[in-house]
Structure 1
Amino acid sequence: MERVSGPDLVGRRAELAALEACLPGRGRLVIIDGDAGVGKTRLVQTFAEHAATTSTVLAGGCVQFEADIPYAPFAEALPELFSGTAGLDRASEYRRVADTLAARPTVLVLEDLHWADASTRDLLRYLHRVLADAPVLLIVTCRTDEFAADHPVARLLAELARSPRSDRIHLGPLDRPGVTALARGVLGADPPAELVDTLVARAEGNPFFTEELLAAGEDVPRNVREIVTTRLARLSPEAQQLARLAAVAGRTVSHDLLVGLAGEVPGPGLRELVDHGQLVIVEPDSYSFRHALIQEALYRDLLPGERRRAHAAVAACLTAHPELATRSSAAGVAAELAHHWDAAGDAARALAASVQAASSAVEGLAPAEAHAHYERSLRRWPEVTAPAEVAGVELDELLERAAEAASLAGHNQRAVELTQQRLAGLADGERRALAFEQLSYQARSAGNWALARSAAAETVRLLPADSPALVRVESWRMGLDMLASRHVAAVRHAERLLPAVSADPMAMNRALTVLGTSRTMLGHVDQGLEHLHRHREFALSSGNPRFVGVSYVNLSESLIWADRQEEALRVARAGLAEASGYGFDIYLLPILGNAVRALAELHRWDEAVDAAEDPDDPAADPFNWIFVDLPRTDVLLKRGDHAAAADLLKRIGAVLDGQDDVQYGTELAHLRARLAAEERRWDDARAAVDDGLSAALGAQDMWLTARLVATGVQVEADSATHPGARERAEELLAAGLEHRRRLEADWAVALPRSRRALALATAERTRLDAMPDPEAWSFPTDVDRHLGAYARFRRAEALLLARGSRTAAAEALAEATTTADALGAAPLAELARALAGRARLTMPAAPSPAASPDLGLTAREAEIFTMLGRGLTNAEIAQELFISAKTASVHVSNILRKLGVRSRIQAAALAHRREQS
């Protein structure tokens, strides 16, 4: 037998020791990444042999099938839990998976995570959270050359890597001694120096390439595909054909499937493939390519016709013998058949298999995979004669299912397109009316308010007055009132409808949501939260992904507006974890946005910026990013990062401008006004305030108006020399107070944040008086440290202008600068120090690199600071940390500001000095 691999693991002693140090697990996760062929699988297999003496070792790999086979690696590792025919009920079965793993010391290896389907990513996230105290070690391998920083897997790894229970092992290329040792193991003797030179130059330390070059002998191919095909050409025609068929089947293929593909019992050809190291025997009765690159290269070398015929052969064999599929569950078999029939070009069989695969994915609460299968079935539909008969479903129902899957997967713009396609073929009647209701919901979720309203009106027009569906439709119109910040109308609508909704779960879901959210926004917090907690119990007991997702969105957001940010953060994080169990991708970003907002209001700004990278598979609809971008922009403005804030505002504006979105449109106006004021663009600031107030004053939400009024009056106070500033400030304040009076006369109560904003506006107005009033700045600010520091700065300013106590002014300024420095609120700290300088008051020194041993950097910033010392670019930092280049840029900007240096070169020099000291 020709030796292809060395008998020993070479050059990975430290990495192997790091893995062994993680036993017995205790909820740890190890991420092993590196380029293809660098030795990740070999490292894990060697470790698994050691670990098997004390732990149960389970392993599975992801499949390169368009990421549409749910739970692929888990089904391979735990086939007894994933072999049912009804799919996987995430809410309960996730816990069964966790309980199975936790029952004994276990090592679970998930290979090739770069190909992970959405459901696999969700389950991995869930297991890492719930197995915190269990004797379980999770190991995942992935290729760093397979995806960009904004890939879903990259975002998942970024999230997991931030956990204190996670470790990361990056496998780089072997050095020259490592290459020499590897060659010695393959050849059985010391390699000549000139051979090592060739190996180092051609394989660049990649173990797989090195082994393949050694096996190729004197024929030195130019790339890996040529390496594989050159070696394969030495084998018999029978072995070559078997290898190609196996490559089409996938990385692993059962013996019986190879028999079916070959048409007879494989003879010497199979033995050749094993003896020459192309295939390795996998228990109990299968073969696997020694490296994924071999399978990929063989597959890509097939001609189009050969590829189609091979896929047809695999599909036919699996149709006759589904037990031979790589994943034996109903969902796995259907997904494999859909993939192979589609690649074979058999439109009819691809259509039938895709519909079945989609149905199985829906049953398993895997909307992203269901969406992919439905899209394939719709693509194949026009190519098939009598498609409804073949698919077992009419086109209208297929479109309805596809739209629902797209919506749950977070692709509501695509759901809108699919529903509009449905409507084009539907005659007037109840089914058409309900299609308009679905269109309204999908349009709102995609950020299209005009279409949402018109579709809702069309639903009511088409439904007869005695239709049982009218209750559900009315509940959606009530929801539109809430989403449009017409909270008084929404509550009254909900109270009228509540007695009639008990028989309709969707209507009950909406009624409880509206009563809870709108009552909270109207200041009746206890009543509102009582309804929202009741809604969460209802949602969880129903198991409906939409109900559960809505519950976490609205409860966490309402807790924020009620100034209960710690609780809001707990709820949001629980919601992100539950998303793994329920498959409501559509709600991931809104829930994440609430987590970011809670972190921002808790003044945990670094975490807020980092948390924005958490979503595993963000929705395709740009609208959903506003939930994350709005609070993140607020943090950037307070930090003084105007360029990054402007970039986000441009992205938000591209989504919201022209959409008449009261809640988020007014927040966008508020942030635009703040940025314009910081840049002394006074006319732009005033225009933004006016634009926001034109919507806010017509809504029934005191907070939206109060926030804009405070911003508008501050703009006038900052631009005091502008003609009419005092009069405009007084008009704005009067409008805000009148709006409060009108709503309080209509049952509302001002939330504490609304009272703070109006108190801020009142205090800002006094800055335009001939003699400012220091006491105007004494309003309560306990829950908002940044606002408290700003109020103390303005109080000190008023004291100095009014010839008041210089001691009191100095104390207020000192408190303001200390808080601003601690928060990283550079603009406020600069304002306070500038005032102290003009008044000749002594202030605390600004933070400097010498002020503290840790330089005042967060753990993530300290990590990036070290990378700056290594000369890494933002893109390289992003790749190494699995974050986006934009986030890396934000971190670098914060580091430069905290260090008091002007460039990354200076920061790198400082990093070198600290390393040498």
Structure 2
Amino acid sequence: MDLLERETVLRDLAGHLKAAVSGPGRLALVRGEAGIGKSAVVRRLAQIADPHIRVVTGACDPLATPRPLGPLLDLAPHLGREVRTALAATPTGPGRPDEVYDCLLADLSAYPSLLVVEDIHWADEATLDLLRYLARRLPNVPALVLATYRDDEIGRTHDVTALLGTLAGYPWVYRHDLAPLSRRAVARLATGHAVDAERLYLVSAGNPFLVTEILAAPAEPIPATVREAVAGRLVCLSAAARRVVDVLAVLGTQVPLRLLAGVLPAPEEALDEAVACGIVRTHGQVAEFRHELTRLAVLEAVPAAARLRIHRQVLAAMRSGPVAEEDLALLADHAAGAGDPAAVLRYAPAAAVRAAALGAHQEAADQYAHALRYADRLPSEQRISLLEGHSQACLLSGRLDEGIASRRTAVRLRRALGDRLREGENLRWLSCWLWPAGRAAEARRTGVDAVRVLEGLTPGRELARAYLNLCRLACYGHEGEAAVAGHAGKAIALAERSGDTGVLVQARFHTAAARVLREGRGWEECERAVSDAMAAGLPLDAGALALVMCWLAALRRDAVRAAAAVSRAEDYCLDHDLPAYLLCARAWGSWGLLNRGSWSRAADAAQKILAHPGPPPVARALALTVLALVRARQGTPEVWPPLDEAAHLVDPGCLRDTGLGWEAPVEAAWLTGDHERVRAEARSGLAALADRIHPWLSGPLACWIRRAGGEPPQVPAAGPYALELAGDWAGAAARWDGLGCPYDAALARLSGDASALRQALAAFEALGTRPAVARTRSLMRVRGVRPVRQGPRPATRANPYRLTNREMDVLKLLDEGLSDAEIAARLYISPKTAGHHVGAVLTKLGVHSRHEAARKHHGPERE
């Protein structure tokens, strides 16, 4: 088929390729619905590429459990020996994903290359991580990496959506959309065929694949759906050819001809017939459907009994010879389809181990789940091992509920076997993951149980880790430096004997973190510990510590440290496939943005966490709280529902310890003028903190009582809070300014003189917090302070139409054709407020319509 209406995309991609091979490298994303012609564009680009440019292509497969690094396995034969060696060594060598990624990067650095990865909407986690890894380093590589995906098959919670979010900030990443064909293009393709071109366009909606499929069977009437089109062609096949098509549909994409021959005797003639009919195609030693939609339509028509039979035949064929480790996932998939418990139990655990070694924890969890369906057939020890592996893979891939459930079962079965050592170890793991699940009290009880069990045995590495767990929980629960140091000392004493570097680093870190929480001293020690863990190649330990640094910085309202900590944690978690840690880091990051007064960015970050299918409850609760506070500060509705949801997601201790849990409803009540509720909520929070010493939790609550006209109790208060409580509003405001927290600085100035009140009002207006502006104006009236109008701000004076910054934001969205409601949603303001802004923009521009406003917006820019 001619590549009609694809000239622009091809020209752009060719330009990217030419620029990339000369350096710096680029990443191009080609997206569109199924059948829109992405693969055809990629093939044409490869054909027109300079002969000196190496072209390597791999594709992702639509398996129930995708092959880890499947595309890399496809293109490995065309890469250098180092890549092939690293890839072949991955099942056994330490640090395998990093080794493979580094070797691929070095290989791409050596040759001008076009590297294509098709259909990343079917990609496994390790492949997506590979793309993240390459994307970050492409400016130093003479290569164009081109990835294709179906944008109609990825929702807001899809893994590819997360990848796209990571790539959003890279200026060397380019995106290209393939649109449906126009009526004119479809009519041109229909020329010479006995079809109604208009009906062809209406039936196909301009989808090139559907058009081609329909035109490939001109003797058949034009079908109304893809299913009918495929079914119409299948009717023309002989029984043998239909059998080949059915088998290929069950086998999946890119089926090796040797495997097809192992299932069907002498399939060559029947395969030729299917190819001639346009259903499938062959290239080299591989047969495949011309499009996945066709395969799925065929597969749907294959009777369940026939599918079962084919899966069994394929399984037998694949097992008849040596089994390559890269085929374990396929074998497990066909074993599950064949309903063969013994085969599932043989291949799924092995596939899970390999996936975990490659950093594909999601796939590992799925493979363990396949095996656990038949685990009651296994001896207890093997069943427990599967549960433990499943738990760890689930926890590392962010599936906390599944992971915790499997770990609970493992604890019970270990106890029944009398295996006290592994019972204690499982209790410790269970405790570790109960805290991010929002169950702080249970995490503490379970951690104590782990120590109790292990203390009855010969002291060793397991007990050291159990003591370390109590050290961590004491730190997160603000139990004080003495409690943290006590557990840490026991852990260190045992770790020094066993040489457990992870315990030593974490114990040092949490002891220093306890000092940071109470006194502010210890940052440098914490930083050294994080660096040591990363340098020692301890991804779980280093990831956890990097995450805690995000929490410490956000909790202490240190904007600079928070931004740096979140950036480091994100990079590390992405590189080491730690999605649960990553989401928590981003939750603390949203709080950091809130502290800096970046309302829209904070809300966007929180919404992305909430849109994810499985954030840890702690991360979700924090994101809900941040979102509620943005709404409260901006004066938009729906403040209390997210706060109520957050309160029910995690237990009260966990909600308190994270930092915002008690303070958020207090502030929300203050912004609505409900002083009685402010005082009641704040005193309730202080009562819950009575047995803890944490100035960054108790200090703000005492300040809110004071702001609401109450007499604050004597409680530990951190620097700026202590200054405000002591009446030094100027000192408190200066400290907040130094920390990069303009909203908190403005709150402190509310206790000041007339000049301070005017400064607070200006700050609140600049931040766009209407309720705080109203509260400040009310306070100024009570004190007899008149606001001083100083005229438009410099940005407004510089604008040719005297538009404010907010009005410029509205004008840009008018240019996009957004309605008032859409503008309100984008700017986190009410539709009524958006309407007022739109009216002001039209008046200042002297126009009568949105269209005229958008056109006038571009006039001065061109002039």
Change in Cα spacing, 1:111 to 1:789, as seen in structure 2 (3 Å) is same
Determine if the alignment matches structure 1 residue 144 to structure 2 residue 151: yes
1:226 and 1:588 map into 2 onto residues whose CA distance is: 45
What displacement does 1:341 show?
0.7
Matched with 1:409 is: 397
Change in Cα spacing, 1:674 to 1:902, as seen in structure 2 (3 Å) is farther
Aligned length: 824
1:183 and 1:247 map into 2 onto residues whose CA distance is: 29
Determine if the alignment matches structure 1 residue 462 to structure 2 residue 467: no
Determine if the alignment matches structure 1 residue 759 to structure 2 residue 759: no
Matched with 1:691 is: 684
- After alignment, is 207-216 or 567-576 more displaced? 567-576
> Of 235, 238, 247, which residue of structure 1 is paired with 2:249?
247
The answer (yes or no) to whether the contact 1:585–1:617 under 8 Å persists in 2 is no
Kindly report which structure 2 residues correspond to 1:868-907, keeping only aligned pairs within 5 A, or say none: 868-869=817-818, 889-891=825-827, 893=829, 900-901=836-837
> Of 781, 792, 816, which residue of structure 1 is paired with 2:737?
781
Determine if the alignment matches structure 1 residue 158 to structure 2 residue 94: no
Change in Cα spacing, 1:872 to 1:559, as seen in structure 2 (3 Å) is closer
2:281 match: secondary structure: strand
Determine if the alignment matches structure 1 residue 825 to structure 2 residue 782: no
- After alignment, is 142-151 or 347-356 more displaced? 142-151
Change in Cα spacing, 1:545 to 1:162, as seen in structure 2 (3 Å) is same
| Aligned partner letter, 1:59 | T
Matched with 2:859 is: none
Which whole-Å deviations, capped at 9, do the CAs of 1:595-648 have from their partners, x for residues lacking one?
A: 3233333444433333346669664543332344444444443333342x4343
Matched with 2:619 is: 624
TM-score by length of 2: 0.87
Change in Cα spacing, 1:618 to 1:857, as seen in structure 2 (3 Å) is farther
Matched with 2:851 is: 912
Determine if the alignment matches structure 1 residue 174 to structure 2 residue 176: no
The answer (yes or no) to whether the contact 1:86–1:363 under 8 Å persists in 2 is yes
Determine if the alignment matches structure 1 residue 195 to structure 2 residue 187: no
1:281 and 1:508 map into 2 onto residues whose CA distance is: 58
- After alignment, is 776-785 or 533-542 more displaced? 776-785
The answer (yes or no) to whether the contact 1:65–1:339 under 8 Å persists in 2 is yes
Determine if the alignment matches structure 1 residue 580 to structure 2 residue 574: yes
1:782 and 1:82 map into 2 onto residues whose CA distance is: 50
Change in Cα spacing, 1:858 to 1:92, as seen in structure 2 (3 Å) is farther
| Aligned partner letter, 1:438 | W
Determine if the alignment matches structure 1 residue 104 to structure 2 residue 101: no
1:145 match: secondary structure: coil
Which whole-Å deviations, capped at 9, do the CAs of 1:528-581 have from their partners, x for residues lacking one?
A: 233323322332244333112112112333344566533432332232222233
1:858 and 1:405 map into 2 onto residues whose CA distance is: 49
1:340 and 1:501 map into 2 onto residues whose CA distance is: 45
| Aligned partner letter, 2:296 | E
1:654 and 1:781 map into 2 onto residues whose CA distance is: 34
Change in Cα spacing, 1:910 to 1:93, as seen in structure 2 (3 Å) is farther
What displacement does 1:676 show?
2.0
| Aligned partner letter, 1:75 | L
Change in Cα spacing, 1:253 to 1:780, as seen in structure 2 (3 Å) is closer
The answer (yes or no) to whether the contact 1:590–1:628 under 8 Å persists in 2 is no
| Aligned partner letter, 1:118 | E
1:209 and 1:17 map into 2 onto residues whose CA distance is: 25
1:163 match: secondary structure: coil
Matched with 2:91 is: 86
Runs (5+) with no aligned partner, structure 2: 78-83, 857-863
What displacement does 1:506 show?
4.5
Change in Cα spacing, 1:780 to 1:625, as seen in structure 2 (3 Å) is closer
Determine if the alignment matches structure 1 residue 75 to structure 2 residue 73: yes
Kindly report which structure 2 residues correspond to 1:861-872, keeping only aligned pairs within 5 A, or say none: 865-869=814-818
Matched with 1:423 is: 411
Determine if the alignment matches structure 1 residue 116 to structure 2 residue 137: no
The answer (yes or no) to whether the contact 2:557–2:592 under 8 Å persists in 1 is no
2:810 and 2:97 map into 1 onto residues whose CA distance is: 37
The answer (yes or no) to whether the contact 1:28–1:132 under 8 Å persists in 2 is yes
The answer (yes or no) to whether the contact 1:29–1:167 under 8 Å persists in 2 is yes
Matched with 2:786 is: 839
1:913 and 1:896 map into 2 onto residues whose CA distance is: 22
2:27 match: secondary structure: strand
TM-score by length of 1: 0.82
1:668 match: secondary structure: coil
The answer (yes or no) to whether the contact 1:161–1:168 under 8 Å persists in 2 is no
Kindly report which structure 2 residues correspond to 1:198-209, keeping only aligned pairs within 5 A, or say none: 198-209=199-210
Kindly report which structure 2 residues correspond to 1:369-448, keeping only aligned pairs within 5 A, or say none: 369-382=363-376, 384=377, 387-388=378-379, 394-425=382-413, 426-427=415-416, 428=418, 429-448=420-439
Kindly report which structure 2 residues correspond to 1:629-668, keeping only aligned pairs within 5 A, or say none: 629-643=624-638, 645-659=639-653, 661-664=655-658, 667-668=660-661
Matched with 2:289 is: 289
2:536 and 2:346 map into 1 onto residues whose CA distance is: 31
Which whole-Å deviations, capped at 9, do the CAs of 1:742-773 have from their partners, x for residues lacking one?
A: xxxxxxxxxxxx2112333445xx9xxxxxx9
The answer (yes or no) to whether the contact 1:68–1:372 under 8 Å persists in 2 is no
Q: Which of 1 and 2 has higher RCO (CA within 8 Å, sep 6+)? A: 1
Matched with 2:479 is: 486
1:40 and 1:760 map into 2 onto residues whose CA distance is: 61
- After alignment, is 490-499 or 96-105 more displaced? 490-499
What fraction of aligned residue pairs are identical, expressed as a percent?
25
What displacement does 1:20 show?
2.4
1:73 and 1:896 map into 2 onto residues whose CA distance is: 51
What displacement does 1:211 show?
1.5
1:553 match: secondary structure: helix
| Aligned partner letter, 2:87 | F
Change in Cα spacing, 1:792 to 1:54, as seen in structure 2 (3 Å) is farther
Change in Cα spacing, 1:700 to 1:58, as seen in structure 2 (3 Å) is farther
The answer (yes or no) to whether the contact 1:129–1:577 under 8 Å persists in 2 is no
2:246 and 2:791 map into 1 onto residues whose CA distance is: 73
Determine if the alignment matches structure 1 residue 65 to structure 2 residue 54: no
- After alignment, is 698-707 or 464-473 more displaced? 464-473
| Aligned partner letter, 1:356 | A
Change in Cα spacing, 1:123 to 1:910, as seen in structure 2 (3 Å) is farther
The answer (yes or no) to whether the contact 2:796–2:803 under 8 Å persists in 1 is no
2:114 match: secondary structure: strand
Matched with 2:861 is: none
The answer (yes or no) to whether the contact 1:158–1:614 under 8 Å persists in 2 is no
| Aligned partner letter, 1:93 | V
What displacement does 1:484 show?
0.7
The answer (yes or no) to whether the contact 2:335–2:341 under 8 Å persists in 1 is yes
Matched with 2:805 is: 856
2:827 and 2:313 map into 1 onto residues whose CA distance is: 53
What displacement does 1:818 show?
4.7
What displacement does 1:671 show?
0.5
1:894 and 1:830 map into 2 onto residues whose CA distance is: 16
Matched with 1:551 is: 545
1:909 and 1:92 map into 2 onto residues whose CA distance is: 62
| Aligned partner letter, 1:447 | G
Determine if the alignment matches structure 1 residue 311 to structure 2 residue 311: yes
What displacement does 1:172 show?
2.3
Which whole-Å deviations, capped at 9, do the CAs of 1:773-829 have from their partners, x for residues lacking one?
A: 99997776333222334445653xx43xxxxxxxx57xx62x545544443334344
Kindly report which structure 2 residues correspond to 1:345-384, keeping only aligned pairs within 5 A, or say none: 345-382=339-376, 384=377
What displacement does 1:523 show?
2.1
- After alignment, is 343-352 or 592-601 more displaced? 592-601
The answer (yes or no) to whether the contact 1:896–1:904 under 8 Å persists in 2 is no
Runs (5+) with no aligned partner, structure 1: 1-5, 718-728, 741-753, 767-772, 800-807, 878-887
1:410 and 1:48 map into 2 onto residues whose CA distance is: 38
The answer (yes or no) to whether the contact 1:599–1:608 under 8 Å persists in 2 is yes
Matched with 2:514 is: 518
What displacement does 1:227 show?
0.9
What displacement does 1:481 show?
0.7
The answer (yes or no) to whether the contact 1:857–1:898 under 8 Å persists in 2 is no
Which whole-Å deviations, capped at 9, do the CAs of 1:91-137 have from their partners, x for residues lacking one?
A: 34322232223333322222222222222222222221122332232
| Aligned partner letter, 1:241 | R
What displacement does 1:365 show?
2.5
